[in-house]
Structure 1
C-alpha cells in the first residue's frame, strides 16, 4: 500500500518549491525593473542597434509601454518555458516516483526556474526556451539546422551575449540530434557552415556596430516618449549600455573581480549540492553505445563551459552565468538521453538519505541571484 502523498518527501519538496516560486515572484514584482523595462522601450527607430529586438516587437503592439508589461510579458514567457520543459521531461524520462528526484534536481533547482523567476524580464530565458524547442522539434531533415540557425539569430538580436550563453548549447543539440543520426554530407555541412558564419557575422555587427548613433540626451528623450509614465526617469538609468564598448565592459568586470570572486565558493557549494544529478549524468554518458558519442558529449560539455568562462572575464553578472551554465547542462542531458545506449541507467535513488538531504536543501534555496550569490 502506497503512503499518502504528504508522507512522500519528494512530493512534499515539490509542493514546497511551488510555494518558494510564489514567494520569489512576489518579491520580484516589488523591485524596480530597471534593465527589463528599458529593453521594452528601445527599438530600431534610429537604425540597427544591439539589444533592440524585443522592444521593436513591443513597439508594433503598443505606443506607450507601461511598467506592468515587463511582468506580463516575462511571466508569459516563463510559463511557456516551464510548460515546454515539463513536456520535454515527460517525453525524455517520464513522470513517476522513480523520476521525481531527477525532476527536483533540475526543474526545481535554484539555478533553473526559480532563478529565471528572480531575473524575470531579463533575456536569459529566451535562450533556454529556444533550446527546449529544438529538443522537442523533429530532427529528421536539414530544416532542423535552419530552425536552429533562425533561433540563434533571434537570440543574438535580443542580446548578442547569447553567442556564448545559449548558442553553443543549441549547436550541441543540433550535432547530437541531427548530425549524429543523419550523418555528414556536403549539403548539410555546407548549410551548417553558412549558418555558423551568418550567426558570427551578426554577432560582430551587433557587438561592434550596434551602438546608439545619436547623442545620449536625444536617446533619452526618445525613450521618454515611449514610456507610459515619463516621470519614471529612474527606469532609464541603464541607457548607457547602448553606448558602452566591449573594452569598457571588460574593464568594469575586472575592476569588480576582487569582490565578485568571493562568490565562487558559494557557486561551488551549490554545484556540489547537485552531486546526485551529476552522478546520474556521468552514468548516462558512460552508458552510451558508441565511443564516438561519449567523446563528443564530453567535448561538447567542455566547450559550453569554456564559453561561460569567457563570459566571466567579460561581464560581471556571475550568478546569472553560473545559473545558465547549469541550465545548459540540464538541457544537454536530454539530448544525450536521445542517443542510443548500451544499457539502462539507474535513476537517482529516492530512498537514499544523503540524496534526500541534498534535495531538501536545493528545494529551500529560492534563487542564486544576478550578480552576487543571493
Structure 2
C-alpha cells in the first residue's frame, strides 16, 4: 500500500485536496455572509441599480430570502464550476499520467477552487464559470461572439468590477478561439467592436448611474423586509456600497495600502509556488505554430494583468484579485492549448522540486479575501 502511494503521489494530492476543500466548506458555513447575503436582497425595486441582478433573479422565486440560500446558491455555482472545469481539462489535456501534475497545480491550487469555496457567495466565480463555458462550446460563428458579449453584460450587471476581472479574459478567449481560428471578416470585426462598446457603455451606466434612487435608510428598510429573519439586521451593514462613489472606494484602498502591501511577499511566494505551471505555459506559447499567435497571446496576458493592477489601485480585496488573476491565466492556458502548435514538454511528475511545490500547494487551504490567509 505504501509503495503504491509513493508511486502515485499526484493522485494522493488529489485526495488530500478534496479533504482540504471539505474543511474549507465547514469553516465557511460557520461565518456570517455579510456581503453575499445582501446581494441576494438587492434588486431593481427602486429602478436600475448596480450589483442587483442576482437579487432580482432571486426575487422572481421568493419574496423572503433565507440566509442559507447564500450557501445553497453559492454551492451550486461552485459545483457547476468545478464540474465544468474537469470537463474542460479532459477536453483539452485528458487525464493521463503526464498531465496529472498540471491538473493538481490548477484544480488543487489555493488560488482556484479552494479559494472560491472560501469566497462562497461572492460574485468572482461567475466570471470563471462563464469563461469555462466559452472554452467548452464550439467557436465557429458570430453567435459565439454575441454569446460572449451577452455573458459579459450579465457579469457587469452582477457586479461592474467584472469589467476588469473576467471580461478581459472572456474577450481574450473570443480572440484566441474565434478570430485567430476563423478568417476574420469586416462583419465579424464590426460585431466584435460593437460588442465591446456595448459592454463598456453598460459598465459606465452601472458605475456612474447605478446608485439607488432613494435614501439609504429607505433602501435598508426594504432589504430588511425581504429578509426571512428580519432580526438579523447585522447582515445589512454593507448597504452603503450601493451609494459609495468611486472616489471613496479609491480613497479607502489607498488608506489601507501600506498595511495591505505587507501581503505582497506572500502573493509572490504563491506565484513562485506555481512555477512548474508557468514554465509549462511558456513552453506552450513557444510551441505555437504561428508567430503572430505567440505575440497575441503574450499581449493578452499583459492586458489581463494590467486590468488587475488597476483593480489593486481601486478596491482593496487583494487576495481575491490575485487569486482571480491566476485563474484567468489558467483559463487562457487552455485557450492557448487549442491553437495550432507543436507538442510541448509537460510538467515533470518525477522532479523532486515540482513534487514539493505540489504538496505545498495542496496543503494551503486558500488565499483569502483581503489579506493572505
Give TM class, smaller chain.
over 0.9
Tell whether 2:165 aligns with 1:161. Answer: no
Report the more deviating stretch, 184-193 or 277-286: 184-193
Residue 279 of structure 1: aligned partner: 279
Distance 1:182 1:355 in 2: 38
SS state at 2:180 partner: helix
Distance 1:172 1:194 in 2: 16
Residue 104 of structure 1: aligned partner: 104
SS state at 1:99 partner: helix
Distance 1:142 1:236 in 2: 43
Tell whether 2:256 aligns with 1:256. Answer: yes
For residues 363-374 of structure 1, the aligned pairs below 5 Å read: 363-374=362-373
For residues 22-33 of structure 1, the aligned pairs below 5 Å read: 22-33=22-33
For residues 1-374 of structure 1, the aligned pairs below 5 Å read: 4=4, 7-341=7-341, 343-374=342-373
CA RMSD of aligned residues (A): 1.0
Distance 1:50 1:184 in 2: 35
* Structure 1 spans left out of the alignment, 5+ residues: none
Distance 1:314 1:154 in 2: 22
Distance 1:346 1:295 in 2: 20
The alpha-carbon deviation at position 96 of structure 1 amounts to: 1.6
1:328-349 residue CA offsets vs partner (Å, 9 max, x unmatched): 00000000000000x2111100
The alpha-carbon deviation at position 4 of structure 1 amounts to: 3.0
Q: State TM-score, norm by structure 1.
A: 0.98
1:280-299 residue CA offsets vs partner (Å, 9 max, x unmatched): 00000000000000000000
The alpha-carbon deviation at position 6 of structure 1 amounts to: 6.8
Distance 1:7 1:306 in 2: 42
1:200-243 residue CA offsets vs partner (Å, 9 max, x unmatched): 00000000000011111111110011000000011001000000
The alpha-carbon deviation at position 183 of structure 1 amounts to: 2.1
1:123-153 residue CA offsets vs partner (Å, 9 max, x unmatched): 0000000100000011000000000000000
Distance 1:173 1:216 in 2: 40
Distance 2:274 2:5 in 1: 24
Distance 1:367 1:281 in 2: 23
The alpha-carbon deviation at position 358 of structure 1 amounts to: 0.4
SS state at 2:181 partner: helix
The alpha-carbon deviation at position 7 of structure 1 amounts to: 4.5
Distance 2:60 2:199 in 1: 25
Distance 1:321 1:76 in 2: 22
Distance 1:344 1:68 in 2: 47
Distance 1:170 1:260 in 2: 29
SS state at 1:200 partner: helix
Deviation above 6 Å: which 4+ runs of structure 1?
A: none
SS state at 2:97 partner: coil
Distance 1:280 1:49 in 2: 43
Distance 1:76 1:9 in 2: 30
Distance 2:147 2:6 in 1: 44
Distance 1:193 1:251 in 2: 33
SS state at 1:89 partner: helix
The alpha-carbon deviation at position 65 of structure 1 amounts to: 0.2
Report the more deviating stretch, 226-235 or 180-189: 180-189
1:271-328 residue CA offsets vs partner (Å, 9 max, x unmatched): 0000000110000000000000000000000000000000000000000000000000
Distance 1:13 1:208 in 2: 46
Report the more deviating stretch, 31-40 or 96-105: 96-105
Count of paired positions: 372
SS state at 2:105 partner: helix
